A = this chain, B = another copy of it.
């Protein structure tokens, strides 16, 4: 279904923005990107190429041993496009991590359009319409239970209407899933995201997107959030395309400073067998969220021609489910669960 290879030769190009460190060539032809430097498709693809590379290299530096394995895949069904999936597995610091760019063109079926209409998009009923999406999606499951799991995802979406006009929006977010609560780390994480949100004078966005994040990453049947949150947004198109892009850029660039210091601080912490078992149970709940509730995963798995390996990359290497597991009153585990049941403000 897919043609995977590691493209080792970096093309000579005038798209200068950090290309020497990219994980691979962009999915869109470099010539095409150079010809339309002001198109939002180009700007977003180049931003995400750079963020992917900076993030992967920062983690490789923390790991000190293994490099991300790079799979380039091209989509053969349902339109054009492809992706660059970078995976690190069973390294000294990371149990499993994936960081995936995808650039997809295709036709949206009428029921997908209906869902967008229900969210307020000005799109026609009962039509199939061409779409374009470029996104970067990442989940990192470290080995050490004292290093939290990280997830982020930033994307730009376009739907072409029949009159030739385009409906566009951004979506994304960054959120943290610790196994043990270290309050100053959570404060650092949220503070970094808040500063990134505030950077362009958007003072109201962090509080709004923080609550959205708590609401979204909710393992409803357990009455617990997946983690300590962060930010989450969708359908973002205000006040105009350029300023919305600057906001998304600022958020995407805050991933490394929000997370890598926490990895560095805890990657060599010692941990017990019981702490490892607790991490595995929490990874079971993480799996439940992703397979039962996550919109992106569910949408991906029912999309014909979707690359399920890149979608399920988010699942941990190992997970555990114990019947009726209970945390001990007064324990470190209970301290975490209390916050997951009642999300709090961190900044």
A280 interface hit (Cβ, 8 Å): yes
A 308-328 to B, binary, CB cutoff 8 A, 1 in contact else 0: 110111011111111110000
Given A291-B292, A292-B301, does the pair A318, B319 have CB atoms closer than 8 Å? Answer: yes
Taking CB as reference atom, which chain B residue is nearest A308? B221
Query: Is A89 in contact with chain B by the CB < 8 A criterion?
Result: yes
Contact yes or no, B321 A317, CB < 8 A: yes
Contact of A288 among B284, B291, B316 (CB under 8 A): B291
Complex-state Cα separation, A291 to B289, whole angstroms:
9
Report yes or no: B291 in contact with A309, Cβ–Cβ below 8 A.
no
- Tell me whether B284 and A315 are in contact (CB under 8 A): yes
Within 8 A of B (CB), among A261-318: 280, 284, 287-288, 291-292, 298, 301-302, 306, 308-309, 311-313, 315-318
Is A96 part of the contact surface with B, judged by Cβ < 8 Å?
A: yes
- A317 in contact with B322 given A291-B291, A292-B291 (CB within 8 Å): yes
Judged by a CB distance under 8 angstroms, whether A98 is at the interface is: yes
Residues of chain B within 8 A (CB-CB) of A316 are: 321
Nearest CB in chain B: distance from A315 CB, A: 4
In the assembled complex, the Cα of A323 lies from the Cα of B100 at a distance in Å of 12
Whether B320 pairs with A318 at a CB distance below 8 angstroms is: yes
Asked if A324 meets B222 with Cβ closer than 8 Å, knowing A291-B287, A292-B301, A318-B319, the reply is no
Q: Do A317 and B320 touch across chains, with their CB atoms under 8 A apart? A: yes
Taking Cβ atoms with an 8 Å cutoff, the residues of A that contact B are 4, 71, 87, 89, 96, 98, 220-222, 280, 284, 287-288, 291-292, 298, 301-302, 306, 308-309, 311-313, 315-324
CB-based closest 4 A-B pairs: A291-B291, A315-B321, A221-B308, A221-B301
